[in-house]
């Protein structure tokens, strides 16, 4: 299927990154959110990230202006279905994703491919909430979307070959690399990454090291670009906790139990960078460890 028009549902950090890369790759993009403020913030963020790419010489000012022109915004789901591809990128809670998919379904064109950017939830289960399990797939981008090379492609039990091939083609056009994963909790990246982050929080809880010691150990000792606690703040602690719960519930092994300190931070609404406090305090110019 030749994909030209795309809708992105949810204008948070993943949604705005996805809209950014599609618009830059010449797709027409409709960006949806229930909040007008969220849409305005997303456009500001996309503008800033495109400007950063211009200043690094990665794209031209003309590319930037073209990308911005190709993005329109809406608060109405009804405006999002008459496209070739929809990418759902709302919050990582199954009840919220399922409700959005159900609300969207009556507005879709017959041929529209429907995808979810879920980082862990069963694709087969989400597909069952729509009228098109055969044209439904997991389409999982990494954060920050404009920088990260990988996209995970996850077929549900009913996904047809045409849908998979169409998305492979889209990934190539975005100049990214696809990895195919089976539909199991956390897929590949989060099955491996989240238990590492969760273990770092246990190491902090048990006093094995401070925030700084744990992060610099993994940065300098394992050559990770960010320490695990810094990365957790970057991803969002609510998202990390939601993914650990999906692993724990879906795989039934106690090794996936979320660390109680991670739960405590989320209960306190210390969600990382987006709330300006997590394992670091982001209220000043330089992030300061909180433990």
Active site residues: 119, 140, 152, 190
Handedness of CA 145, 150, 155, 159 (dihedral sign): positive
What is the nearest approach in angstroms of ligand CAA to the Cβ of residue 79?
A: 26
| Runs of H (alpha helix) within 187-291 | 189-205, 211-221, 228-235, 237-251, 260-267
Q: In the bound complex, which residue of the shown chain has the CB atom lying closest to ligand CAA? A: 119
Q: Find out whether 141 and 15 touch, Cβ atoms under 8 Å.
A: no
Smaller CB distance to ligand CAA: residue 159 or 190? 190
What is the nearest approach in angstroms of ligand CAA to the Cβ of residue 235?
A: 4
Q: Find out whether 89 and 12 touch, Cβ atoms under 8 Å.
A: yes
What is the nearest approach in angstroms of ligand CAA to the Cβ of residue 121?
A: 11
Question: 57: how many CB neighbours lie within 10 A of its CB?
Answer: 7
Judged by DSSP in three states, 278 sits in coil
What is the nearest approach in angstroms of ligand CAA to the Cβ of residue 150?
A: 8
Smaller CB distance to ligand CAA: residue 132 or 273? 273
Smaller CB distance to ligand CAA: residue 112 or 245? 245
Cα 263 to Cα 92, 94, 240: the distances in Å are 15, 18, 10
Smaller CB distance to ligand CAA: residue 46 or 114? 46
What is the nearest approach in angstroms of ligand CAA to the Cβ of residue 193?
A: 6
What is the nearest approach in angstroms of ligand CAA to the Cβ of residue 206?
A: 24
Positions touching ligand CAA (CB under 6 A) are: 49, 52-53, 56, 58, 119, 142-144, 146-148, 189-190, 193, 225-226, 231, 235, 239
Q: Find out whether 20 and 29 touch, Cβ atoms under 8 Å.
A: no
Pairing assessment for the beta strands 28-32 and 5-9 based on DSSP bridges: parallel
Smaller CB distance to ligand CAA: residue 7 or 239? 239
Q: For 136, list phi and psi in degrees, rounded to 5.
A: -125, 135
| Runs of H (alpha helix) within the chain | 13-24, 36-55, 61-69, 94-104, 123-127, 161-173, 189-205, 211-221, 228-235, 237-251, 260-267
Pairing assessment for the beta strands 28-32 and 71-74 based on DSSP bridges: parallel
Kindly tell me the burial class for residue 180, based on how many C-beta atoms sit within 10 Å of its own C-beta (0-12, 13-18, 19 or more). middle
Smaller CB distance to ligand CAA: residue 112 or 187? 187
Kindly tell me the burial class for residue 271, based on how many C-beta atoms sit within 10 Å of its own C-beta (0-12, 13-18, 19 or more). buried
């Amino acid at each position: 299927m030749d994909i030209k028009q795309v809708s992105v549902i949810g204008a948070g950090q993943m949604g705005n990154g996805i809209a950014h890369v599609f618009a830059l790759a010449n797709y027409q993009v409709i960006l949806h959110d229930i909040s007008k403020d969220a849409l305005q913030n997303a456009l500001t963020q996309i503008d800033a990230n495109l400007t950063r790419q211009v200043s690094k010489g990665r794209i031209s000012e003309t590319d930037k202006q073209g990308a911005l022109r190709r993005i329109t915004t809406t608060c109405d789901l009804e405006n999002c279905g008459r496209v070739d591809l929809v990418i759902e990128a709302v919050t990582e809670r199954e009840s919220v994703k399922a409700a959005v998919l159900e609300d969207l379904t009556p507005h879709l064109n017959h041929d529209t491919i429907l995808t979810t950017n879920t980082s862990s939830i069963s694709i087969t289960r989400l597909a069952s909430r729509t009228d098109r399990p055969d044209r439904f797939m997991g389409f999982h981008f990494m954060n920050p979307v404009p920088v990260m090379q990988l996209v995970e492609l996850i077929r549900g039990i009913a996904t047809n070959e045409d849908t998979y091939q169409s998305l492979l083609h889209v990934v190539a056009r975005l100049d990214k690399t696809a990895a195919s994963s089976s539909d199991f909790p956390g897929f590949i990246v989060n099955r491996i990454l989240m238990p590492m982050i969760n273990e770092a929080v246990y190491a902090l809880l048990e006093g094995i090291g401070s925030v700084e010691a744990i992060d610099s150990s993994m940065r300098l000792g394992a050559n990770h670009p960010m320490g695990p606690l810094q990365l957790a703040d970057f991803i969002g602690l609510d998202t990390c906790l939601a993914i650990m719960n999906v692993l724990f519930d879906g795989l039934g092994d106690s090794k996936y139990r979320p660390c109680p300190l991670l739960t405590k931070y989320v209960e306190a609404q210390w969600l990382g960078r987006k709330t300006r406090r997590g394992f670091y305090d982001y209220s000043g110019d330089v992030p300061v460890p909180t433990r």
